[in-house]
Amino acid sequence: MATINENYLKLKAGYLFPEIARRVNAFAQANPAAQIIKLGIGDVTEPLPQACRQAMIHAVHDMGDRATFQGYGPEQGYPWLREKIAAQDFQARGCDISADEIFISDGSKCDTGNILDIFGSNNAIAVTDPVYPVYVDTNVMAGHTGPANEQGEYEGLVYLPINAENNFTAAPPSQKVDLIYLCFPNNPTGAVATKAQLQEWVNYARENQAIIFFDAAYEAFITDPDIPHSIYEIEGAQDCAIEFRSFSKNAGFTGTRCALTVVPKTLTAQTQAGAAVDLWKLWNRRQSTKFNGVSYIVQRGAEAVYSPEGQAQIQDLVRFYLENAKIIRDQLTTAGLQVYGGVNAPYVWVKTPNALSSWDFFDKLLHNCHVVGTPGSGFGAAGEGYFRISAFNSRDNVNQAMKRIISKL
Amino acid sequence: MATINENYLKLKAGYLFPEIARRVNAFAQANPAAQIIKLGIGDVTEPLPQACRQAMIHAVHDMGDRATFQGYGPEQGYPWLREKIAAQDFQARGCDISADEIFISDGSKCDTGNILDIFGSNNAIAVTDPVYPVYVDTNVMAGHTGPANEQGEYEGLVYLPINAENNFTAAPPSQKVDLIYLCFPNNPTGAVATKAQLQEWVNYARENQAIIFFDAAYEAFITDPDIPHSIYEIEGAQDCAIEFRSFSKNAGFTGTRCALTVVPKTLTAQTQAGAAVDLWKLWNRRQSTKFNGVSYIVQRGAEAVYSPEGQAQIQDLVRFYLENAKIIRDQLTTAGLQVYGGVNAPYVWVKTPNALSSWDFFDKLLHNCHVVGTPGSGFGAAGEGYFRISAFNSRDNVNQAMKRIISKL
């Protein structure tokens, strides 16, 4: 009799984005004339950079000639891509990261889930609240939690609230934890962490022999020169942190699929008996056995991000979305709302007015303005009373949405 | 103190293909003039079909225009691809499989490993011996086995020997198992299973409430019209089988990356308490949470496989490799070797002469003929005394390799 992984049954059925889709569809059916503007899901809208498209077309042609055809590539990614990432994303910022510490993958969502494969089942795990739901759900599926309570908090996880009171940057907990998820610039709040704040986390991790999972998917949106882009800009991070990055948001690869994970060779974790084991070796074994590399064509597209033209084009894209974020911040402030984020991040985090719940504000915005955002409570209990507005949309849509909010909310 | 998944430490360090690479590199360094022909790893060598390349170039252009740009796609794959697969690969052969039972992924290697996520940790698991090593290693990593013995057999797995005596098609075991890996046409032996043989497996699975993982990655190579291409051609299979398929070997996508997994909606497994749970729902939740879909560009390439031009082009590719296999079979037979497979599969399975061990035959072939194959013992203890020759190469290389074997072995 085949049995299932019963941890899946602990997952809350009403996942955030399906519930949003359900409410939007119901409203659209009841109001077929409404022109709904979606500033909900964090998906890009602008065309892929020309440099990436040219490189991919070239790569498709490579696949048509026996002499340049590519079969199985290295599971870790092609050296020509890993070397450019190491040089331009890390070494250029003073981070001592080498090409063979970079693992190319098809997405940070996959990697932040899969990374748990190489860790034991008895680690104490900390997440911020609100948080990207994938961090939590993958731990539930792996059996690292008990059931959820009414607020959706899972037994056994350590939740670190981030809110206006602590400037949306949680401090290390008083208790001992072993694995810590941090995401800066933060999804969903748009907050960033200073060097001093990250140094505190690194110090905590080293003192407690903990590992930090640092999600830097939004680093390209940092405008403040004092804010670190990589955890490896922090002294000691190479002994305690794994970093996740993506081409989804800087180069618009959400539908093209390429990302990377950095596992420094200096990183270790322990056996139950207290022996140190290299995490690089475990992740390399995991990827070699359960993954077969990213499409050659897509990796050539990602490589083009590092050409001078590619760099200019992704900077244009980032500037475009950041200008959207500025418009959203300014206009919502004009509308009398309290806003956070949106300066070093493509997300604006809004305090709901009049103590409305996140979902009530969602419904009000949808019904009065025909604008869709994301309820803060969908990212965790401490997100209740907040709301996420995404800057990923056309300028026309952003302007139109803000006009409606100012006049009709 | 972060702890590791200690099951990884049970894995045998000398994985098959790295060990082959090590010996080949050592020989090449010592013999720089030798022109080594590699008939080892099962990687394709011929260009991608033109229909696929054209479709991918079109898709790259789609990504350059805001109106046709694609962001996040469905985690399960685009409906236009899933519908063509359901119609042409399954319904056309009388299998009652619908589009929403097909999950598009970036590789069968990934899927055959990831599928374990949704199953419990106390299932009895059967694999054939020899076997594709990924089935075994992913179970070791998931903690479903004890340590390995000297032959590399892991405690707790049920090994079903396949050899010349049973025509390379294992019969169902006498004991009860819960999860069963079958691969037909078989890697590494090139054997196929008849309808009657698969019906025996389906009957066994239904009687024991077991689930069959059916790897059909090589189905395109079936030439015998009586051999089933899909497990769903067998009555009752929809109640007990998950099927894995790939574009790697029929359309040459090893470096392009696209595959699919079929999870029928009628399929269930049990909780410890004996409640039936839909596996489709669990796999859908797994993929939605830990995967973000395959590149739009690649999915358009896979879709083109189902156009009339695409079908003609992949048939040409398959015919080309099968003609290579026929040459290998014929020439090795002329050389006095006993061969199996290679008729409905791109692999020829060779009995080593004079009771040589698999690795001794590997060394002899490399040193005398400068030809690389794969030692059968690398696929499991019962592969000892056998050797795999792959038909994935150019005609010139195959002819040259066979000439050397006949004259110099």
Q: Which residues of B touch A293 (CB under 8 A)?
A: 255, 257
> Exposed, middle or buried by CB within 10 Å (0-12, 13-18, 19+), for A356?
middle
Convert the pLDDT of each residue in A360-380 to its tens digit: 999 999 999 999 999 999 999
CA distance A292 to A152: 35
Minimum-distance CB partner of B123 among A2, A43, A63: A2
Q: How many beta carbons lie within 10 A of that of residue A69, not counting itself?
A: 18
Q: How far A223 CA sits from the closest chain B CA (Å)?
A: 24
CA distance A205 to A176: 9
pTM (2 d.p.) = 0.97
Mean predicted lDDT score pLDDT of chain A: 96
- The band of B63, judged by pLDDT with boundaries at 50, 70 and 90, is very high
Q: Has residue B14 got a pLDDT over 90?
A: no
Convert the pLDDT of each residue in B151-210 to its tens digit: 889 999 999 999 988 889 999 999 999 999 999 999 999 999 999 999 999 999 999 999
CA distance A158 to A181: 11
SS3 content of chain B, % helix, strand, coil (to 5): 45, 15, 40
**Residue from A242, A257, A280, A294 whose CB has the most chain B CBs within 10 Å, to mutate:** A257
What is the amino acid identity at position B403? K
Minimum-distance CB partner of A71 among B8, B65, B254: B254
- Contact between B74 and A92 under an 8 Å Cβ cutoff? The reply is no
A9-13, A195-199, A218-222, A236-240 — which is least confidently predicted? Answer: A9-13
Q: Has residue A153 got a pLDDT over 80?
A: yes
Contact A8 B286 (CB under 8 A): yes
* 3-state SS assignment for residue A300: helix
Q: Has residue B274 got a pLDDT over 80?
A: yes
Convert the pLDDT of each residue in A78-95 to its tens digit: 999 999 999 999 999 999
**Confidence check on the interface: ipTM exceeds 0.95, yes or no:** yes
Q: What is the pLDDT of residue B16?
A: 80
A125-134, A163-172, A292-301, A370-379 — which is least confidently predicted? Answer: A163-172
Q: How far B382 CA sits from the closest chain A CA (Å)?
A: 22
Mean predicted lDDT score pLDDT of chain B: 96
Strand order in the sheet with A347-351: A338-341, A347-351, A386-390, A374-375
- The band of B18, judged by pLDDT with boundaries at 50, 70 and 90, is confident
- The band of A99, judged by pLDDT with boundaries at 50, 70 and 90, is very high
What is the amino acid identity at position A348? V
* 3-state SS assignment for residue B375: strand
Where are any strands of DSSP class E within A314-408?
Answer: 338-341, 347-351, 371-372, 374-375, 386-390
Q: Has residue A14 got a pLDDT over 70?
A: no
* 3-state SS assignment for residue B138: helix
Start-end of H helices in A130-278 = 133-141, 195-207
Q: What is the pLDDT of residue B190?
A: 97
- Nearest C-alpha neighbor of A340 from the set A386, A382, A373: A386
Q: What is the pLDDT of residue B205?
A: 98
Q: Has residue B150 got a pLDDT over 90?
A: no
Q: Has residue A150 got a pLDDT over 90?
A: no
Residue A347 token pair: 């997300």
Rounded mean pLDDT, B245-269: 98
Rounded mean pLDDT, B80-104: 98
Q: What is the pLDDT of residue A13?
A: 66
CA B306-B309-B314 angle, 5° bins: 70
* 3-state SS assignment for residue A280: helix
- The band of B17, judged by pLDDT with boundaries at 50, 70 and 90, is confident
Q: Has residue A288 got a pLDDT over 70?
A: yes
Q: Has residue B13 got a pLDDT over 80?
A: no
Residue B52 token pair: 């696929």
- Nearest C-alpha neighbor of B401 from the set B355, B358, B350, B344: B350
Stretch 292-311 of chain A: residues touching chain B, C-beta under 8 Å: 292-298
